[in-house]
Amino acid sequence: MTHIDSALEARLRRLEDRAELTQLIARYGVAVDDRDLPGIAALFTPDGSFRSQDGVMNAQGHAAVLEQFRGRFRALKLSYHFSHDHIFEFGADPDEATGLVTAHAEVWRNGRALIGALRYQDRYRRYQGRWCFADRLLWFLYYLPVTEYAEALGDRLRQRAYGDRRPADFPESLASWQQHHDPG
């Protein structure tokens, strides 16, 4: 194999990896919305974790991750998750990657329609020949009743998933935001 062949093979592998990671993310949304616990388990490495930036969710390993989702399913009657953009970074290890995913979710909780703007900060690992989540950290830009959407975007307390008003996870907490935001 020539140097050009090897470089081309490596570039092709990265494109395939990106496509597989995009499919992993899509499968996550479908499995969560379908309440497919075996499907969710298949998306995580056995030691994988699912956490939220606010600390409410924090599970590691298949059993704990699935129990956490069972609790979410009891609270969320109907949900629809959809991802937007994906940013993938690859290092020296061909079986590991990191990513940032922007997404939205529509849910029915406590008799109300809610909408959430989300970011997932992911670590991926190839496990038994396929990409899986090694860690998934959920950040909320907002999570609020649809009826409060218009006025809530201007409020730092945009995280209303738990029945109270909490600060959003971002962007106000980011150093880049703090450096360039004029609060006036």
Tally the domains of the chain.
1
- Which residues lie closer than 8 Å to 153 by C-beta, 6 or more apart? 142
pLDDT value, residue 154: 87
Examine residue 183 and say whether the peptide bond preceding it is cis (omega within 30 degrees of 0): no
Range of the domain at 37: 3-180
Give 87-125 pLDDT, tens digit per residue.
Answer: 999 999 999 999 999 999 999 998 999 999 999 999 999
Cβ–Cβ < 8 Å for 120, 50: no
Question: Percent of the chain scored above 90 by pLDDT?
Answer: 76
CATH of the domain at 33: 3.10.450.50
Question: Percent of the chain scored above 70 by pLDDT?
Answer: 97
pLDDT at residue 184 is higher than 60: no
Rounded to whole angstroms, the Cα distance separating 32 from 28 reads 6
Rounded to whole angstroms, the Cα distance separating 122 from 83 reads 13
